[in-house]
Amino acid sequence: MSPQVAGQLELLGQVLISGILLGGLYSLIGLGMSLIMGVMKIINLAHGELMMVAMYITFWAFTLAKIDPYVSLLIVFPLMFLLGVSVQKFLLTPVMEADTVLPQNQVLLTVGLGLVLSNLALLFFTANYRSVPVSYASKTIYWDLKLGGQTISLSFSYPFLVAFCIAGVLGASLFIFLAKTDTGRMIRATAQDKRAAALMGINTKRITYITFGLGAALVGAAGALLDPVYYLYPQIGGPFTSKAFVITILGGLGDIPGAVLGGLVLGLAESLGSVYISLGYKDAFGFIIFVLVLIFMPRGLLGRGRA
Amino acid sequence: MSRKNLIGLLPIAAVLLIPLLTQNPYLLHMFILSLLWIVLGQSWNLLGGYTGQISYGHAAFFGVGAYTTGIMVKSGQSPSTAWWGLLFGGLMAALVAAFIGWVCFRLRGSYFSLSVLALSEVLRLVAVNWNRLTNGAEGILFIPAFTQKTYYYYIVFALAAVNLGVIRWVMRSKPGYYFLAIREDQDCAESLGIDTTKYKLLSLLISAFFTGAAGAFYMNYMGFIDPGIVFSIADISIMMILVTMLGGAATKWGPAVGAILFILVSEIFRVWVGSGHLLFFGVLIIAIIIYFPNGIVGTLVDRRTRKRRLRGAEAVA
């Protein structure tokens, strides 16, 4: 193998690795959104803003109390759960049955909520870009591969790798929770048929609170994991809301395993696209795939979601 | 002309006289912005309020209209070519809308809304990255044709009046009834023989044309645009929805009431709060949805007829 080919392979391998690692975080963001979409049948357009809130919690925990971002997950997860429960209980549930000309009232409400959250952050924390300067931010692990006489050296960013693993653990716990526990079964039943679930004695209102809480907690965890590798500012939510709905549609609406796949696909598409096509259009690839999937595979990549 | 129509013309006549009463540039600026937002609100209302197709990405048409004008001026010689932008900006926006509609009307409800949002973001990224055509993130700058705000006032007034007239005319003719039928029940409308895709597209084209023309006016008036301003989701797309909802979706004067309140409130908060003034709009959106789900005009003025209609619906059910 010539050194040129080896160099190309090295680049490709590196791009795939960073795509998959990023995709793991995207999956976590998508899981929360997909869960909410499955049960409430609404698109949460404040999803990215919820993540922004979690990122600021992590940031302040680190700055004020020197709490490591990965440890602060223990604070972020319950706090975001409570925030999610309150949003569903005090904002979304009351407008569910209002009589209106415009459809999608709840979705528009989440738009308003997103504006409130990002502008509160702007007011209190200013528009400055901030970061969490952890000691391991640029730590990398190298992996040398011998291939046809050439050495291909691949690098893994340590914080991305940790984030990927924690995301995997959280995702797996969610599957076990949904599959094995009573509450998990109730959530799945409510997602399948809300009225039937109510007739079976499930308190569907309580289930919607828990679902939104879980969705917020999951995206909050993604925010905490993103902090060591990304910067944060009040308007960071918007692009991530877009990513979240792209992931959810890619996976098929309400399809939980699909959301994981959707996240990985988006991560790979962005990383491949920005290296091989154009860096400037990095964010456009997700949208283009999104529209193509909506048109040609409206039930998601796995073909199991609701069309 | 009946007396009712004459009374309806009174506020229009009053608005026409404003520049004769005041030459204060700041006040005129506020009135010009209000009229611009009336055009935007009314255009969104045609597609969202009357036809029931909620678009989260109308900034796409606003931006295309503005950029068409800006590029025309940059490639032409005199800034007077900019006024042709009102026509060509609108037409370009309608052309883009034809494509967006062709793609997005295969989808319904929230999926339609989100796909328009996605395509509008793609257009923003194109405007940022296609440097040779759009001058990229730097934006387009030119010296506006007039220094007197009075001219702009009458131009945007004419745009708003034509917009209102066209929408009233459409809503009173056959397609207008089709739009309402599609909003109430698309499958039902389809089964009655309405080509729903065609009429949704018609509604989108008219809406996009006027949104594009408003974008062209914005370019002419402000003299500066960049992708972050004219393709903004938060500042254009979402605010168009807010203006319509505030006044009342699917009402004749709702968008106008909403636009005037929107400009008033945003000025007050821009002066008082400074950064983060959008906070109030977030609260406002939430409050409207919870307390006035049909907007100010929709809830207060129309309360009686709505109650009657509701009672009728209950009797049928």
Q: Do B110 and A107 touch (CB under 8 A)?
A: yes
Rounded Cα–Cα distance for residues A194 and A199 (Å): 9
Which pLDDT value is given to residue B316? 42
Mutate to test the interface with B, among A86, A105, A116, A235 (most CBs of B within 10 A): A116
Q: Which position has the higher pLDDT, A96 or B310?
A: A96
| Pairing verdict, β A150-157 and B224-225 | unpaired
Task: Establish if B265 touches chain A: CB-CB under 8 angstroms.
Answer: no
Q: Which of A108, A115, A287 sits opposite B122 (nearest CB)?
A: A287
With beta carbons less than 8 A apart as the criterion, state whether A141 and A14 touch.
Answer: no
Model confidence pLDDT, tens digit, residues B253-276: 889 999 998 898 888 887 877 666
Query: Could you tell me the pLDDT band of residue B309, with boundaries at 50, 70 and 90?
Result: low
Query: Could you tell me the pLDDT band of residue A305, with boundaries at 50, 70 and 90?
Result: low
Query: What number of CA atoms fall less than 13 Å from residue A232's CA on the CB side?
Result: 29
Task: Establish if B193 touches chain A: CB-CB under 8 angstroms.
Answer: no
| Residue A151 forms part of a structural domain | yes
Q: Chain B: residue nearest A45 by CA? A: B114
Q: Do B110 and A294 touch (CB under 8 A)?
A: no
With beta carbons less than 8 A apart as the criterion, state whether A246 and A37 touch.
Answer: no
User: Does residue A96 surpass a pLDDT of 80?
Assistant: no
Closest by CA to A286, choosing from A30, A108, A106, A28, is A30
With beta carbons less than 8 A apart as the criterion, state whether A99 and A66 touch.
Answer: no
Q: Do A102 and B293 touch (CB under 8 A)?
A: yes
Residue type, position B13, single letter? A
Residue type, position B287, single letter? A
Give the distance from residue B150's alpha carbon to the nearest chain A alpha carbon, in angstroms: 34
Q: Which position has the higher pLDDT, A145 or A180?
A: A180
Query: Could you tell me the pLDDT band of residue B9, with boundaries at 50, 70 and 90?
Result: confident
User: Does residue B312 surpass a pLDDT of 60?
Assistant: no
Q: Which of B106, B279, B298 sits opposite A123 (nearest CB)?
A: B279
* Cβ contacts of A112 on chain B, cutoff 8 Å: 281-286, 289
Q: Do B284 and A112 touch (CB under 8 A)?
A: yes
CATH number of domain containing A201: 1.10.3470
Q: Do B245 and A115 touch (CB under 8 A)?
A: no
Q: Angle at the Cα of A299 (from A297 to A302), degrees rounded to 5?
A: 85
Q: Angle at the Cα of B178 (from B176 to B180), degrees rounded to 5?
A: 75
Give the distance from residue A272's alpha carbon to the nearest chain B alpha carbon, in angstroms: 18
Which residues form the domain of A40?
A: 3-296
Query: Could you tell me the pLDDT band of residue B38, with boundaries at 50, 70 and 90?
Result: very high
Rounded Cα–Cα distance for residues A67 and A72 (Å): 6
Task: Establish if B302 touches chain A: CB-CB under 8 angstroms.
Answer: no
If one counts the domains in chain A, the total is 1
| Residue A160 forms part of a structural domain | yes
Task: Establish if B278 touches chain A: CB-CB under 8 angstroms.
Answer: yes
Q: Do B121 and A242 touch (CB under 8 A)?
A: yes
Query: Could you tell me the pLDDT band of residue A307, with boundaries at 50, 70 and 90?
Result: very low
Model confidence pLDDT, tens digit, residues B155-182: 999 999 999 999 999 999 999 999 999 9
Q: Which of A91, A122, A287 sits opposite B286 (nearest CB)?
A: A91
Q: Do A238 and B234 touch (CB under 8 A)?
A: yes
Q: In chain B, which residue ranges form alpha helices assigned H by DSSP?
A: 3-21, 25-44, 59-75, 85-104, 109-129, 131-134, 149-172, 174-184, 186-191, 196-222, 227-230, 238-247, 254-272, 278-291, 295-296, 303-316
User: Does residue B292 surpass a pLDDT of 90?
Assistant: no
Which pLDDT value is given to residue B139? 84
Q: Which of B106, B238, B250 sits opposite A101 (nearest CB)?
A: B250
Model confidence pLDDT, tens digit, residues A207-219: 999 999 999 999 9
Task: Establish if A96 touches chain B: CB-CB under 8 angstroms.
Answer: no
Most confidently predicted of A1-10, A33-42, A220-229? A220-229
Q: Do B310 and A99 touch (CB under 8 A)?
A: yes
Which pLDDT value is given to residue B303? 61
Task: Establish if B53 touches chain A: CB-CB under 8 angstroms.
Answer: no
Which three-class secondary structure state does DSSP give residue A131?
strand
Of A287-301, B83-97, B293-307, the poorest mean pLDDT is in B293-307
Of A20-24, A74-78, A166-170, A275-279, the poorest mean pLDDT is in A275-279
Which pLDDT value is given to residue A101? 60
Tokens found for residue A91: 């904002």
Rounded Cα–Cα distance for residues A34 and A254 (Å): 5
- Quick one: A33 exposed, middle or buried, by C-beta within 10 A (0-12, 13-18, 19+)? buried
| Residue A302 forms part of a structural domain | no
| Residue A214 forms part of a structural domain | yes
Tokens found for residue B219: 């370019």
Report yes or no for ipTM above 0.90.
no
User: Does residue A299 surpass a pLDDT of 50?
Assistant: yes
With beta carbons less than 8 A apart as the criterion, state whether A221 and A77 touch.
Answer: yes
What global pTM score does this model have? 0.86
* Cβ contacts of A50 on chain B, cutoff 8 Å: none
Q: Do A99 and B278 touch (CB under 8 A)?
A: no
